[in-house]
A and B are shown apart, each in its own frame.
Chain A
Amino acid sequence: MVVVRPIRANDLAPLLALVRDTGVGLTTLPNNEGLLRGRIEASIATFSGTAEKADEQWVFVMEDTTQNKIVGICAIAGAVGLREPWYSYRVGTVVHASRELGIFTRTPTLFLSNDHTGASELCSLFLAPEYRVGRNGALLSKSRLMFMAQFRERFSPKVIAELRGVSDESGRSPFWESLGRHFFSMDFAEADYLTGIGKKSFVAELMPKHPLYSSFLSKEAQAVIGETHEMTRPARRLLEQEGFRFEGHVDIFDAGPALESDLVDIDAVQKSTTHAVAAVTEASADSASAAPLMLISNVHLAEFRVGLGRCQISDDNVVISADIAKALGVMVGDTVRVVALSPSERA
């Protein structure tokens, strides 16, 4: 059984082992022990209520309870850009027109913006390759939405998720090559690493501040603005199913899209419901295959758990299987939050 829960101090060593599998581009999860330890500490402080708003980091791990193994990580930043400026490019349009000259040109532009300042951010999603099967990826990604649904007052009205932009196998980003490199003589991988260790604003301060005409960039670079890395497309699809949309903000280094949604408009937040556990059945989660697969979470903060299972809902009550009850640490009479994993199966 895999379950998603808040990160703990003793997760550091297994997490480091996991992170070594991470490629370039997952900027919020660099291979850096000090930094990971810091993030774990920040998360623990956040869950215990001692972190300042600007420092809130809700970090979760996915655990295979059968193997007692950490297999994935995901996080929510409470509010971005309150310590260091948060930069993105807003894709805009400038029209140059003259009726008399018969000229009408539409030029795409990139405006450096801090528009997402204060937004909550879904970040740091990483799943061990051998666990990229079944619905694990969906569980890991959407576990955060269940958490936000349960504790929505702790998050900002706007939620964003930055997705990795296009780069090749060697980590070369055509957007960076055409823009960033001119302003900052380093490889994308290095800029990306600096971003990951919290120096993004330093790098950003070396980037052009004035609006850019995209047409001055290489064709290759223009083509990847707002495009998602091939490996990240499934993650994008999951978020889009939940109502996240590309609203024209892209990463300043690789032009990967920032998806955004109002917290209350996120499908899982809107449609998940809480019920008292009426009974726990011995049947395993897989047996009642006629019912839709559900995201099921408890409603604890520090002991938050979310997993996948099937259940029967009647009015305020819900019947869940013993294995999910055990994984979530709930008993008859406790409250759980449930929503169909697939938005198409939601009421």
Chain B
Amino acid sequence: MFVLRPAELTDLPQIESIAAKSAIGITSLPPDRDRLTDKITNSRYSFASEVDLPGEEAYFFVLENANTGEIVGTSGIAAAAGFHDRFYSYRNEIIVHASQELKVSNKIHALHLCHDLTGLSLLTSFYIDPTFVDSDLPDLLSRARLLYVAEQRQRFADKLAAENPGVCDAEGRSPFWDAVGRRFFNMDYPQAEQLSGGRSKTFIAELMPQYPIYVPLLPAAAKLAIGQLHPDGELPFSILMDEGFEADTYVDIFDGGPTVEARVETLRSVRLQRRMTVSTSLPNLAETIESGRAVMSIVANTKSEGFRATIAPVVIGTGSGVGNGSDHIGVSREVAVLIDVDDGDAVRVVPLDTANHHLTGATW
């Protein structure tokens, strides 16, 4: 069984080897021991702190094989993008150049450097061991974060965003960077990023062109790269798309990758999740699970420092028996132990397969 939980300093060696494997572009997972140590420390502080308004907290989760202790994935949430400063993106805009007199109307695509996403909460650090890409674990890794957000609304902004890697070749050469950033830096993107010494991208962004970029003036390869996803980013991206994130408006200022955003309440998992009382002793629980009539769900406790989430079959209370109503769900004792809940504790639950469940159905 797998469990998603806050990262601990003891996870450092494993996280370090994951960071070394992760793609260029997942800048939130730097292959650098000191920075990773800071990241975990800051995360532990974030989970532990009392928060009224989102600030500089950054929550870092690891996905652990509970049987072996092996870490097979990471994910994170930054409470407020660009908290200390600004969060830069390019906004896709259409400028209509029209003249009634000349009977001409042209739609011109331009990229505007903007701070629109500053202060949004940012989903970060997604990494899954390639062995598990075809399993349910990527869903747990990505979507359990949303259960944490749903439980801890005061810690996060009303909108979430997520950066996705843009296209580049095997050497990390990005056609978008080559056409835009390079003109102002005269260096490769990985080099520029390295030079910035792990400081926020703001540091680099301030050197980027501040005026809108007229897309028609860019070379073909750079035009194509705008909003184009790196193949490595497809899995986390598709999960976010299924959640209802919107990808048309913003792109990364360095590699042109799509930056998605959405209001928290509109996300599928947030709308479908329910806060329920857990029970390990509902009538016929074991039989229902064994017969396959339980609903495979992501289920998370409602703690912060002690946050745990897993995928498990759950049984909805029937209104009779121990739970005494449909606010109760039944999970196996093993699951209860894994996510550290006792009978009567609250949990957040969302069906794994949201497509097959009606949004309004209390009985999903």
Q: Is the CB of A213 within 8 A of B183?
A: yes
Q: Is the CB of A182 within 8 A of B216?
A: yes
Q: Is the CB of B108 within 8 A of A208?
A: yes
CB neighbours of A107 from chain B (8 A): 183-184, 209
* Minimum CB–CB distance for A194 against chain B, Å: 7
**Who on chain A is nearest to B196 by CB?**
A101
Bound-state CA distance A184–B209 (Å) is: 24
Q: Is the CB of A199 within 8 A of B101?
A: yes
* Minimum CB–CB distance for A276 against chain B, Å: 53
Cβ-neighbour of A182 out of B101, B207, B217 (below 8 A): B217
Q: Is the CB of B207 within 8 A of A101?
A: yes
Bound-state CA distance A184–B103 (Å) is: 11
A205 at the interface (CB under 8 A from B): yes
Q: Is the CB of B185 within 8 A of A216?
A: no
Q: Is the CB of B183 within 8 A of A210?
A: no
**Who on chain A is nearest to B108 by CB?**
A183
CB neighbours of B206 from chain A (8 A): 98
**Who on chain A is nearest to B101 by CB?**
A202
**Who on chain A is nearest to B207 by CB?**
A96
CB neighbours of B110 from chain A (8 A): 208, 210
CB neighbours of A213 from chain B (8 A): 183, 209, 211, 213
Q: Is the CB of A105 within 8 A of B185?
A: yes
- Residues in B196-244 with C-beta less than 8 Å from chain A: 196, 203-204, 206-214, 216-218
Bound-state CA distance A98–B207 (Å) is: 7
Number of A-B contacts (CB under 8 A): 84
CB neighbours of A215 from chain B (8 A): 183
Q: Is the interface of B mostly helix, strand, loop or mixed?
A: mixed
- Residues in B168-207 with C-beta less than 8 Å from chain A: 183-186, 192, 195-196, 203-204, 206-207
Q: Is the CB of A184 within 8 A of B104?
A: yes
Cβ-neighbour of A205 out of B97, B203, B211, B212 (below 8 A): B97
* Minimum CB–CB distance for B348 against chain A, Å: 44
**Who on chain B is nearest to A186 by CB?**
B104
Q: Is the CB of A205 within 8 A of B183?
A: no
* Minimum CB–CB distance for B113 against chain A, Å: 11
- Residues in A102-131 with C-beta less than 8 Å from chain B: 102-103, 105, 107, 109
Bound-state CA distance A25–B88 (Å) is: 43
Bound-state CA distance A206–B204 (Å) is: 33
CB neighbours of B203 from chain A (8 A): 98
Known: A101-B195, A105-B184, A215-B183. A210 touches B214 (CB 8 A): yes
Known: A103-B185, A183-B106, A215-B183. A206 touches B98 (CB 8 A): yes
**Who on chain B is nearest to A209 by CB?**
B95
Q: Is the CB of B207 within 8 A of A207?
A: no
How many interface residues does chain A have, given as a range?
A: 20 to 34
B10 at the interface (CB under 8 A from A): no
CB neighbours of B214 from chain A (8 A): 182, 208, 210, 212, 216
- Residues in A247-274 with C-beta less than 8 Å from chain B: none
Bound-state CA distance A113–B196 (Å) is: 36
CB neighbours of B95 from chain A (8 A): 209
B102 at the interface (CB under 8 A from A): yes
Q: Is the CB of B185 within 8 A of A109?
A: no
* Minimum CB–CB distance for B363 against chain A, Å: 55
**Who on chain B is nearest to A210 by CB?**
B212
Bound-state CA distance A199–B103 (Å) is: 12
Instruction: Select the residue from A102, A183, A202, A203 with max chain B CB neighbours within 10 A.
Output: A183
Bound-state CA distance A98–B196 (Å) is: 10
**Who on chain A is nearest to B96 by CB?**
A206
**Who on chain A is nearest to B97 by CB?**
A206
12 contacts between A and B (CB under 8 A): A105-B207, A107-B184, A107-B209, A178-B217, A182-B217, A183-B108, A199-B102, A206-B97, A206-B99, A212-B214, A216-B213, A216-B214
Additional A-B contact list (10), CB under 8 Å, known A103-B184, A182-B216? A101-B196, A102-B195, A107-B209, A183-B216, A206-B97, A206-B104, A208-B108, A210-B212, A216-B213, A216-B217
Chain A residues proximal to chain B, CB less than 8 Å: 94, 96-98, 101-103, 105, 107, 109, 178-179, 182-185, 194, 199, 202-203, 205-213, 215-217
Chain B residues proximal to chain A, CB less than 8 Å: 95, 97-99, 101-102, 104, 106, 108, 110, 183-186, 192, 195-196, 203-204, 206-214, 216-218
Leading 7 A-B pairs by shortest Cβ distance: A182-B216, A206-B97, A216-B217, A211-B211, A210-B212, A96-B207, A202-B99
